[in-house]
Structure 1
Amino acid sequence: MQSLYLLIPLSVLLAFLIGALFWWASRSGQFDDLEGPAHRILHDDDTPPPLDKES
Structure 2
Amino acid sequence: MGIIETIAEQRIREAQARGELDDLPGAGKPLALEEDNPFVPPELRMAYKVLKN
Q: Which TM-score band (shorter chain)?
A: 0.3 to 0.5
TM-score by length of 2: 0.40
TM-score, normalisation: structure 1: 0.39
Greater Rg over alpha carbons, structure: 1
